[in-house]
Amino acid sequence: MNKDKTRNLRQALGSFPTGVTVVSCLDKNKNPLGFTANSFTSVSLDPQLISICIDKESFNIDSFSITKHFAVSVLSEDQQSISTTFATPNEDRFQNVEWRTEDTGSPIIENAVAWFDCNTRQVIDAGDHLILIGEIIAFDSSPKTPLMYLRGNYVNLGLEQKMLLAMENENTKIVVGAIIEWHKKVFLLKDKTNKSLYFPSASRLGHIDDNDSLLGILKNLKISINEHYLFSVFEKAEDKTSLIYYRAQVKEALEDMDDYFYPFDDIPFDKLSDEASRIMLKRYIKERELNAFGIFVGKESEGKVEAISKK
């Protein structure tokens, strides 16, 4: 299949929202192995079967193709960093992760939303992947919110809901802003003196027909965006304003928009209106390179991404 077709297929498949799991087993020396997988599916209730698909190019394919047991841990929304760890090449992914074993000895991630400890029932050859069918020997689940994956992005359902509630509360002072990208360029507005640059923002996310809302302002600037994702939530120390930033990609831009878009490698950071914006934009560019976005929750002065549960 040519590159375009593969990309289009990935895009189409990515429009099916999934959870995120870590699939794990022990190698022949009893070392824990694991990788991030969203191909987890329930297969049968009687007998109790689940399946996952593993890429034949996978570093640990030899162990997974012959393992007699494996486990699947469903990650919670504050375990996004674990998902990243298990999707990134690393000698020992379990080093900084808490895990335990249950019946089969396969590693199970602590505090997962649910886990399934399995005997391998079948390994099916399927194109460039193997399908592992597991017979569930033990399992458990909790009411935690699962991490979700959609169109190549992690989606934080719990935080989105909290933000919507905060936005509806009239007593909370809120600024809603957007980091908008178009072909590795970022959209910034200039103040009247032409000295300072800032992200478009408003007091609410709103709707394209609401002129004072962020979506209305963008529409009036003739910027049409695809879906937007939560990127940063923080509180301004001086006046306790809550700042909520989304990220989005331009769907269609007018030809004369070039004036407003700054290439990633040529952004006049010193002109950005405040330090929080600088930190956010630097983080955005870094995460775009990795194509793995996190959600920052915390104080404006801090540059690191925190687990949402620590809020």
Ligand X SMILES: Cc1cc2nc3c(=O)[nH]c(=O)nc-3n(C[C@H](O)[C@H](O)[C@H](O)COP(=O)(O)O)c2cc1C
- According to the binding rule CB under 6 A, does residue 35 interact with ligand X? yes
Among 14, 19, 60, 153, binds ligand X (CB under 6 A): 60
3-state secondary structure of 270: helix
Nearer to ligand X, 89 or 143 (CB): 89
Taking the complex as a whole, the smallest distance from the CB of residue 284 to ligand X amounts, in Å, to 19
Contact segment (CB under 6 A) with ligand X among 56-64, 219-227, 254-262, 266-274 equals: 56-64
Instruction: Tell me the C-alpha to C-alpha distance, in Å, between residue 192 and each of 104, 202, 272.
Output: 66, 17, 14
Is 80 in contact with 44 (CB distance < 8 Å)?
no
Nearer to ligand X, 16 or 269 (CB): 16
Nearer to ligand X, 37 or 186 (CB): 37
Taking the complex as a whole, the smallest distance from the CB of residue 280 to ligand X amounts, in Å, to 23
Taking the complex as a whole, the smallest distance from the CB of residue 117 to ligand X amounts, in Å, to 19
**Residue ranges of the alpha helices (H) in 123-250?**
157-168, 214-220
d(C-alpha 17, C-alpha 151), whole Å: 8
Is 284 in contact with 186 (CB distance < 8 Å)?
yes
Is 71 in contact with 117 (CB distance < 8 Å)?
yes
Among 14, 19, 27, 39, binds ligand X (CB under 6 A): 39
Q: Which of residues 80-119 bind ligand X (CB under 6 A)?
A: 83, 86-87, 89
Is 96 in contact with 90 (CB distance < 8 Å)?
no
Nearer to ligand X, 87 or 189 (CB): 87
- Compute how many residues bind ligand X; rule: CB under 6 A: 17
- According to the binding rule CB under 6 A, does residue 178 interact with ligand X? no
3-state secondary structure of 163: helix
Contact segment (CB under 6 A) with ligand X among 5-13, 34-42, 229-237, 276-284 equals: 34-42
- For the record, the structure tokens of 220 come out as 């009036």
- According to the binding rule CB under 6 A, does residue 58 interact with ligand X? yes
DSSP label at residue 169: -
Q: Which of residues 138-157 bind ligand X (CB under 6 A)?
A: 149
3-state secondary structure of 90: coil
Nearer to ligand X, 87 or 175 (CB): 87
Give the pairing of strands 99-101 and 189-190: unpaired
- According to the binding rule CB under 6 A, does residue 38 interact with ligand X? yes
Nearer to ligand X, 55 or 103 (CB): 55
Nearer to ligand X, 55 or 102 (CB): 55
- For the record, the structure tokens of 208 come out as 């394209």
Taking the complex as a whole, the smallest distance from the CB of residue 57 to ligand X amounts, in Å, to 7
Among 26, 49, 50, 53, binds ligand X (CB under 6 A): 53
Instruction: Tell me the C-alpha to C-alpha distance, in Å, between residue 133 and each of 20, 274, 291, 311.
Output: 18, 53, 30, 38
d(C-alpha 178, C-alpha 176), whole Å: 7
Residues in contact with ligand X by CB under 6 A are: 20, 35-39, 53-55, 58-60, 83, 86-87, 89, 149
